[in-house]
Amino acid sequence: MLNICLIGSGGVGTIASLVLEKSGRARVTAVLRSNYEIVAQKGFEIDSIDHGKLPSWRPSRIVSSIAEAVQYGPYDFVVVTMKALPDVYSLPILIEPVVTKGVTGIVLIQNGLNIEIPLAEAFPENVTMSGVSMIGSRMTGNVVYHEDPDDSFMGPYIHSGLSREDQTEKARLFVEVYNAGGAAKCVLTDDITRARWRKLLWNGTFNTLCTLTRLDVGALQRGGGTESFLRPAMKEMLKIAKGAGYDFPAELVDEMIEGTPPTSPFKPSMLVDLEKGNPLELEVILGAPLRVARTLNLETPILGMVYEALKIVQWGILQQKN
């Protein structure tokens, strides 16, 4: 049995803990924050496209802090499903107490680019892997509504502290267990960064532009945003990816735009965060690729300006939070 600590039991994290428990090969200690009390009392009420209806479900153990989780270690894996907010908290410092040197694999199921670097640097004797998830799952209180299948790519973020084989093997094990738990699809990849760039093409554009204009993906396009912003912004992102060594066909832009019809009322995650007054995943979704662009001396007038505008919006959100 794998001993797993899962941090951040929102819509994505709760389904991940369910899948891991259902595999019969893992026990999950879930660290809950704002919803600890209600879940302790009532469990999670889950309505899942992959797993059906579960009126009151709990992982093996729930705790209300990372400090409390320490006593149930050592952990084979720490799974992080929190929002990726490097401008708000330091993930290496946060999870350090539950990471056992040379043992614990770190699994980041989070948005963005280069999110693995600080972990690989802080824990050079541990495997860091990450997942790009296409899941659609949201939580209110203790209620999880999971409407789009738990489809993901996962892979190791190879670093020089361990052999490539050991890193790949650890990631393979996690993916094997995750698939055994009935995920819709979890694909092991040896190039997770490529999958991250591909997702950024959507997230760095649709997600950020909907947030800036506070419109859903359909309205953004019906309002004229496709040609003034979306398409040129996607081309900038494609250019940065190419500069970073990840070449995608130009047609992917059309494909992504066509795949998000102007009739869709979908609100992307960053807009949902904004409407809730929560911090935006701006640094990992847009800041990180723009830092890559800067080192490559690439011009990104549109993405650059969207970033600067949202940085001010983010500042406003953080002021309200403090």
| Residues within the interface to a copy of itself (CB under 8 A) | 212-215, 219-220, 222-225, 228-229, 301-302, 305, 308-309, 311-313, 315-316, 319
Rounded Cα gap, residues 112 and 193, in angstroms: 10
Q: How far is the CB of 193 from a copy of itself (least distance, A)?
A: 29
Kindly tell me which of 35 and 208 has the beta carbon lying closer to a copy of itself: 208
Contact assessment for residue 200 and residue 239, using Cβ atoms and an 8 Å cutoff? no
Kindly tell me which of 201 and 230 has the beta carbon lying closer to a copy of itself: 230
Kindly tell me which of 227 and 258 has the beta carbon lying closer to a copy of itself: 227
Residues β-bridged to residue 77:
4, 105
Question: Given the structure tokens 């940065």, which residue do they identify?
Answer: 240
Kindly tell me which of 49 and 318 has the beta carbon lying closer to a copy of itself: 318
How large is the angle between the packed helices 231-243 and 301-321, nearest 10 degrees? 100
Q: How far is the CB of 88 from a copy of itself (least distance, A)?
A: 15
Q: How far is the CB of 252 from a copy of itself (least distance, A)?
A: 23
Rounded Cα gap, residues 133 and 137, in angstroms: 11
Kindly tell me which of 209 and 292 has the beta carbon lying closer to a copy of itself: 209
Q: Cβ-count burial of 71 within 10 angstroms (0-12 exposed, 13-18 middle, 19+ buried)?
A: exposed
Angle (nearest 5°) at CA 276 between 275 and 282: 75
Q: How far is the CB of 294 from a copy of itself (least distance, A)?
A: 14
Q: Report the relative pairing of strands 128-133 and 151-156 from DSSP bridges.
A: antiparallel
Q: How far is the CB of 70 from a copy of itself (least distance, A)?
A: 38
